[in-house]
Structure 1
Amino acid sequence: MNNPTNPLTEPNGSRARHPDTPTFCQGGCGCGAVRYRVTSAPMIVHACHCRLCQRQTGSSNAVNALIEADRVIVRLGEIEEILLDTPSGRGQRIARCAACKVALWSNYLIFNQGRDLRFLRVGTLDDPSLMPPDVHIFTGSRQPWYIIGDDTPKVDVFYDRKATWSEDSLMRLKTLSETTGSALN
């Protein structure tokens, strides 16, 4: 980014949720065939330590930024989708680059969200440090060598959304649910 200021941080150092910038950040796949831009901060960022995320990513956890689908705009390339398992048993549609197969985002079917809410893979951002985890989930199955600091909330399985999400993010989710008719909130 040309802007030396972190767009996720307010002047007082607190994390911003909704900067009013046309392009909040950008990202893409490993081979460069797919490029996307993000138009706002996410509602929340999860670091998921479930065994399926470990297997599907080939790492200790997946980091997903939950954001409205219309705020992630594909600028270049072709996306393909595959269906994979989730701890809920309902599955997820994972959007991948058609060329290199890197996972860019997914839609979890447990939320009946259709294609309205994306779980953007933070590692595909040009600067993943812009979206650090707000909460660690499924820590009951995290790798014992993965140390989670005391500054980020963590739960054994999942959390109470109303107790964890900001009021602003809860309103965004409610608006998305009302606008799309999805059972999101």
Structure 2
Amino acid sequence: MKSVSLPYTGGCQCGHIRYEIHAEPLTIYVCHCKECQKQSSSAFGMSFTVPRDAVVIVQGQPKAWTRKADSGREINNLFCGDCGTRLFHERTYNPNTINVKPGTLDNTSWLHPVGNVWTRNAQSWVIISDQLLNYDGQPEDMRPLWEKWTQQHP
């Protein structure tokens, strides 16, 4: 049972940047690509996809840098210039949505991903549940992840 309601709030580790999200997520998934492993300093990263206009920066201003994803597409990474916390990433090929890094939310207790992408890069000790949508690499179509989220969170 979800214990939080809109707007969802979050921010960086040092508190310089704060944001609000004014829409329910379109999906939440885990990415095991090498870039997400690097950015998270862990075995995977997570993405909380929302409409771009649902994210409001209420304090501070993120810095940005662009990189190529494992898929070959460009990703704009938004982070705190003071503490380095990665907050969001924008896919240049889809300007209508943004991925929030959900570990930066104030309340993460209700987050339950519906799938995994780039499972071929998953660390050997990570258990990939067959009850989730799982993709060996980058899915051509993200809609099944959105649909599974909607089915589980009507």
Q: Same fold (TM over 0.5)?
A: yes
**Counterpart in 2 of 1:165?**
146
Counterpart of 1:37 (choices 20, 34, 40) is 20
Question: Which one has a larger percent strand, Structure 1 or Structure 2?
Answer: 2
Distance in 2, Cα, partners of 1:37 & 1:145:
34
Name the larger-Rg structure. 1
Judge conservation of contact 1:52–1:85 (CA < 8 Å) in 2. Answer: no
Paired residue secondary structure (2:135): coil
Give the Cα separation in 2 of the matches to 1:150 and 1:167. 14
What is the TM-score with the length of structure 1 in the denominator? Answer: 0.72
Q: 2:102 corresponds to which residue?
A: 122
SS in 2 for 1:55: helix
What do the CA deviations read for 1:28-61 (whole angstroms, capped 9, x no partner)? Answer: 0000111111112110112000112112321111
After superposition, the C-alpha distances for 1:9-37 in whole angstroms (9 at most, x for unaligned) are xxxxxxxxxxxx6x331100000111111
In 2, distance between residues paired with 1:44 and 1:5? 15
Counterparts of residues 7-86 of structure 1 (less than 5 Å): 7=4, 23-86=6-69
More contact order relative to length (CA 8 Å, sep ≥ 6)? 2
Aligned Cα RMSD in Å? 2.2
Match of 1:113 in 2: 94
Shift of 1:98: 2.3
Structure 2 vs 1, CA of residues 34 and 155 (structure 1 numbering), >3 Å: closer, same or farther?
same
What's the secondary structure of 1:132's corresponding residue? coil
SS of alignment partner, residue 95 of structure 1? strand
Which runs of structure 1 show a deviation greater than 4 angstroms over 4 or more consecutive aligned residues?
none
SS for the counterpart of 2:83 is coil
Structure 2 unmatched ranges of 5 or more? none
Q: Which residue of 1 aligns with 2:83?
A: 100
- Unmatched 5+ stretches in structure 1: 8-20, 170-185
Count of equivalent residues? 149
Kept in 1: contact 2:28–2:149 (CA 8 A): no
* C-alpha distance in structure 2 between counterparts of 1:80 and 1:132, whole Å: 28
TM-score using structure 2 length? 0.85
Structure 2 residue aligned with 1:132: 112
Look up the match of 1:174.
none
Q: Give the number of the structure whose residues are more often helix, by fraction.
A: 1
